[in-house]
Amino acid sequence: MAPSIKVGDTIPKGEFGYIPYAPELEDNLACGVPGKISTDDWKGKKVVLFSVPGAFTPTCHTNHLPPYLAKHAEFKAKGVDVIAVVAANDLFVMSGWARFEGCKDKILALSDTYAKWSESLGLSVDLTERGLGLRTARYAMIIDDLVVKYIEVESAPGVSVSGAEAVLGKL
């Protein structure tokens, strides 16, 4: 899959569903307050954005998100303002996944509803044959003041170019 966006491009405007972390969410019966985050919020910031096909799916849940969380301090030490994971799951699922993983406010779990924003970048994948429908592809980006500095898409199952180690190496 070749994305339509490339290094040096300005990211298109997008809006993601998001439930911000709050201590009340430690109660598993709390759902949080739904909101939105816009790519406009990233103006003047260095953002590491990685995308997974689905929350709680095997590779995403065990191999993709956990290393980003474990290396949070390393990303911050390299000047990263925001670390975000995006998937086509709804914002309540993304919030639940982030709580299960222990992300708190370290990694924003964003809902790219119907993979619309990812599709605008050429970064969606149709997993209908596997019962999952249209999803976000597995990719990672470094965005600095809305400009793409790094973008890589996984060409095979698993995590390599979109993983925490690969992205840290490009900062």
Calpha distance 63→158 (Å, rounded): 8
Calpha distance 115→39 (Å, rounded): 15
103 is catalytic: no
With the C-alpha atoms ordered 58, 109, 160, 70, is the resulting torsion angle positive or negative?
Answer: negative
Calpha distance 64→159 (Å, rounded): 6
Q: Which of 47, 48, 60, 85 is catalytic?
A: 60
Helix, strand, coil shares, percent, the chain, to 5: 35, 25, 40
Q: Which residue has the tokens 């070749």?
A: 2
Task: Identify residue 63 by its one-letter amino acid code.
Answer: N
Q: What is the DSSP string of 56-74?
A: T-HHIIIIIHHHHHHTHHH
Whether 65 and 99 have beta carbons less than 8 Å apart is answered as: no
| Residues assigned a catalytic role | 60
